[in-house]
Amino acid sequence: MDRIEELLASYREEMMETVQKWVRIPSVKGEPAPGAPFGEEIRRALDTAMEDCAAFGLKTQVFDGYAGHADLGEGDTRDALAILAHLDVVPVGDGWQREPFGAQREDGKIFGRGTGDDKGPAVAALYALRAVKEAGVPLRRKVRLILGCDEECGSSDMAYYKKTGEMPRSGFSPDADYPVINIEKGGCHLKFAGDLSPEGLQVLSMQVGERANVIPGFASALVEGDEDIARKAMEAGEKLGFPVKATLGNGAVIIETVGVTGHAAFPGHGRNAIGQMLLLFRELGVQGVLRDMADAVGMTWRGENLGIDMRDGVSGELTASLDIIRVEGSRMEALMDIRYPVLLNLDAMVSTAKMRLPDVEITVAGSRPPHFVSERTELVQELLEAYHEVTGGEKRTVAIGGGTYAQSLEEGVAFGALFPGEPEMAHQANEYMTEESIFQNARIFARAIVRLAGKKSGEDTKSEEDTDGDR
């Protein structure tokens, strides 16, 4: 490993510049175009990444703009070690103090949307592959870096990749936390809908939230009213303990409230602006479906008012984050992101929610089952050893609420890239990843590749590169 460590140290500055280059491409999902099913910027990010992979001598292939892969070594693809990362990012959102796609380097950090989720880890994996290749490590199996383009919006990219390419059976995704994530909770999106009441406060329009997996940090609504409603809104904000702005205009009032954006898998780390607005509506006398949503959801994030606050000893507690709401005309529709424990029955959970909200239409807009890989597998044990060798950290497995590309593999786990004690910046304003963290990830990934794909002691290590006796 000494030669690999030397090489990674020599790449360090180039590695950071590559992260900056990738982050400066605003790869948010856009309008589809020929060869660019998720928009031209995501296709540009994919092409850039594939060019960098090819420059390091990896064998690349692009799958119609859905995804691409880069191979190191030869062998049966089903038996290859897969490393899956994504190039798409969530929308910028509110609250930034820096240029979201500027990739500024300050105080040992690289700022920008996608630095930690997931471009920094993807670059670290690429440079780990480069180091293993240039160190001449003999491999017993192929290593395949797969870079996808739709992880943030349902992973249709991986479904397409499986249809048109060949997916390895086993591997990891550097898109969560260390040490090893071997359990991912189930996930579903609950859609709430209903007609507005003609009684009480009249909400004329409200369009908040962009993605179901992003906690909205700002909410604005147009309500019927005058100076009295504006004053009451401000007073209600003080009572409830969050900032409210109310502006008059032609028989209506624009109400705004600011929360804290974040990842829907960690709703306790954010402050949901939709929830704040619902509680504000309730203080102002709203009735009907919006009152029901305020009572049943509000600022809760464990589903307690819906009667679905459950946990198990395997994967922890349920989380529920109301991240999109649309009010127009006489109708409300909203979408809630739920991450549920492995042992929870999805149908029973939905039935319970319907009983708590009998006057609200509730449907499942999408779901994915829980994912589990035994900690006894070679994959998990070798990844834990690689992590421990570099950090000295505890060799243990954990469960998370987030869903990663690991679920695209028969035997897949999430491995990194966030170290214990580091702040969770995914989907948040001023997202960053430290340069040291990127570098340490590359070191860990390189060791993982050698452990899981390198030839074992006693195996024939002769390769084409060493037939001339140079090594």
Which residues are catalytic, by number?
Answer: 88, 151
Q: What is the CATH number of the domain that holds 83?
A: 3.40.630.10
Q: What is the CATH number of the domain that holds 265?
A: 3.30.70.360
Query: End of a domain among 315, 347, 368?
Result: 368
Q: Exposed, middle or buried: residue 56 (CB in 10 Å: 0-12, 13-18, 19+)?
A: middle
**Is residue 302 situated within a structural domain?**
yes
**Is residue 222 situated within a structural domain?**
no
Same domain, yes or no: 308 and 440: no
**Is residue 227 situated within a structural domain?**
no
Tens-level pLDDT at each residue, the chain (471 residues) = 999 999 999 999 999 999 999 999 999 999 999 999 999 999 999 999 999 999 999 999 999 999 999 999 999 999 999 999 999 999 998 899 999 999 999 999 999 999 999 999 999 999 999 999 999 999 999 999 999 999 999 899 999 999 999 999 999 999 999 999 999 999 999 999 999 999 999 999 999 998 899 999 999 999 999 999 999 999 999 999 999 999 998 889 999 999 999 989 899 989 999 999 999 999 999 999 999 999 999 999 999 999 999 998 888 999 999 999 999 999 999 999 999 999 899 999 999 999 999 999 999 999 989 999 999 999 999 999 999 999 999 999 999 887 899 999 999 999 999 999 999 999 999 999 999 999 999 999 999 999 999 998 766 544 433 433 333
pLDDT at 314: 84
pLDDT at 460: 56
Same domain, yes or no: 301 and 339: yes
**Is residue 221 situated within a structural domain?**
no
Domain with 130 in it: 2-184+371-466
Cα–Cα distance measured from residue 26 to residue 21, given in angstroms and rounded to the nearest whole number:
11
Same domain, yes or no: 70 and 162: yes
Residue 374 gets which letter from DSSP?
-
Residue 456 gets which letter from DSSP?
P
Same domain, yes or no: 112 and 84: yes
**Is residue 195 situated within a structural domain?**
yes
Q: Which helix (H) or strand (E) holds 171?
A: strand 170-173
Neighbouring residues of 150: CB distance < 8 A, sequence distance ≥ 6: 29, 37, 38, 66, 86, 88, 156, 157, 158
Same domain, yes or no: 35 and 133: yes
Closest CA to 345 of 308, 374, 371, 373: 308
pLDDT at 469: 33
Closest CA to 413 of 370, 448, 373, 369: 373
Distances from the Cα of 35 to the Cα of 24, 38, 69, angstroms: 21, 9, 16
Instruction: State the total domains in the chain.
Output: 2
Same domain, yes or no: 146 and 192: no
pLDDT at 41: 98
Strands 432-434 and 109-111: antiparallel
Angle at 116 between CA 112 and CA 117, to 5 degrees: 100
Same domain, yes or no: 91 and 32: yes
Cα–Cα distance measured from residue 415 to residue 180, given in angstroms and rounded to the nearest whole number:
5
Q: Report CA torsion sign: 300, 304, 308, 314.
A: positive
Closest CA to 66 of 163, 158, 165: 158
Strands 203-208 and 319-328: antiparallel
pTM: 0.82
Distances from the Cα of 92 to the Cα of 113, 118, 211, 369, angstroms: 7, 14, 11, 29
**Is residue 471 situated within a structural domain?**
no
Cα–Cα distance measured from residue 203 to residue 197, given in angstroms and rounded to the nearest whole number:
10
pLDDT at 459: 62
Cα–Cα distance measured from residue 291 to residue 302, given in angstroms and rounded to the nearest whole number:
19
Cα–Cα distance measured from residue 27 to residue 152, given in angstroms and rounded to the nearest whole number:
11
Query: End of a domain among 334, 368, 402?
Result: 368
Same domain, yes or no: 139 and 264: no
Same domain, yes or no: 393 and 325: no
Query: End of a domain among 368, 385, 417?
Result: 368
Looking at this protein, which amino acid is placed at residue 112?
A: G
> Phi, psi at residue 147, to the nearest 5°?
-115, 115
Same domain, yes or no: 169 and 193: no
**Is residue 444 situated within a structural domain?**
yes
> Phi, psi at residue 183, to the nearest 5°?
-130, 125
Same domain, yes or no: 311 and 439: no
Same domain, yes or no: 59 and 130: yes
